[in-house]
């Protein structure tokens, strides 16, 4: 039977994996610039197997706003296009028959708010994964206590340490979420700068008219 330290180490390892998965999810939430990570979570049916796009196509950046996807098997390009449309990216693929271009437009304020909602949902899923790991370890500790492999005091100490570990990983998810939300809500692009410049111009003109 494993001892308490083995179980706590197992908890940390599994929680680290959950953080890594959450980080990958964050990469699929766009911030106004093209990145190949945006399509990492999209799977395509390739002869009965659901595969990530980078296993059936070459993926690159055409420019700072464009992702270029060139499937090695041209027969799946329609399926590839459908899966992109079904995703929550909110992007319209341009299919020329041999490759797909994904134009990543500047984020509108409404789209930014929608992405923050998606981020919040992903963060909660990450927290649930962390709590499920904690629950599984707690059950194993109780089994050790029931089987007289560990004393009640040792189980309490291990449970307290496990809670501290859990709190630490939940905070990691919160911190990653805060950073991502800031990136979503404060990404400046040419359109943002132009519109702000025009608003300032309009405000200056109104002020001059009053003089």
pLDDT in tens, 142-177: 999 998 888 999 999 999 999 999 999 999 999 999
pLDDT in tens, 168-209: 999 999 999 998 898 888 754 444 444 554 555 554 444 444
- Looking at residue 40, the DSSP 8-state letter turns out to be T
Return the pLDDT at 32.
Answer: 67
Separation between Cα atoms, residue 198 and residue 157, nearest integer Å: 62
pLDDT in tens, 17-47: 999 999 888 877 877 677 888 888 899 999 9
Mean pLDDT of the residues in the chain:
85
Sign of CA dihedral 141, 145, 149, 152: positive
HSE (CB half, 13 Å, CA atoms) of 52? 12
H or E element: which one contains 190?
A: helix 190-210
Rg of the chain on CA atoms, in Å: 24
Distances (CA, A) of 52 to 26, 29, 55, 82, 125: 16, 16, 6, 14, 21
Of the two residues 53 and 28, the one the predictor is more confident about is: 53
DSSP one-letter string for 113-176: HHHHHHHHHHHHHHHHHHHHHHHHHHHHHHHHHHTTSS-HHHHHHHHHHHHHHHHHHHHHHHHH
Confidence of residue 9 (pLDDT cuts 50, 70, 90): very high
- Looking at residue 187, the DSSP 8-state letter turns out to be -
């Amino acid at each position: 039977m494993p001892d308490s330290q083995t179980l706590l180490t197992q908890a940390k390892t599994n929680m680290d994996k959950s953080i890594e998965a959450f980080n990958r999810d964050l990469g699929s939430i766009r911030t106004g610039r093209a990145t190949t990570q945006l399509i990492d979570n999209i799977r395509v049916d390739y002869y009965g197997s659901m595969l990530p796009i980078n296993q059936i196509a070459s993926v690159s950046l055409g420019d700072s706003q464009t992702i270029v996807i060139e499937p090695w098997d041209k027969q799946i390009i329609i399926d590839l296009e459908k899966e992109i449309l079904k995703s929550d990216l909110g992007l319209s693929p341009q299919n020329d028959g041999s490759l797909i271009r994904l134009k990543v437009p500047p984020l509108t304020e409404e789209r930014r708010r929608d992405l923050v909602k998606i981020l919040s949902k992903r963060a909660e899923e990450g927290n649930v994964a962390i709590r499920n790991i904690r629950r599984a370890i707690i059950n194993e500790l109780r089994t050790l206590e029931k089987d007289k492999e560990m004393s009640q005091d040792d189980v309490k100490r291990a449970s307290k340490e496990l809670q501290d570990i859990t709190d630490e990983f939940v905070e990691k998810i919160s911190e990653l979420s805060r950073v991502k939300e800031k990136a979503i809500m404060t990404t400046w692009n040419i359109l943002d700068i132009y519109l702000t410049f025009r608003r300032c111009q309009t405000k200056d003109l109104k002020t001059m008219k009053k003089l």
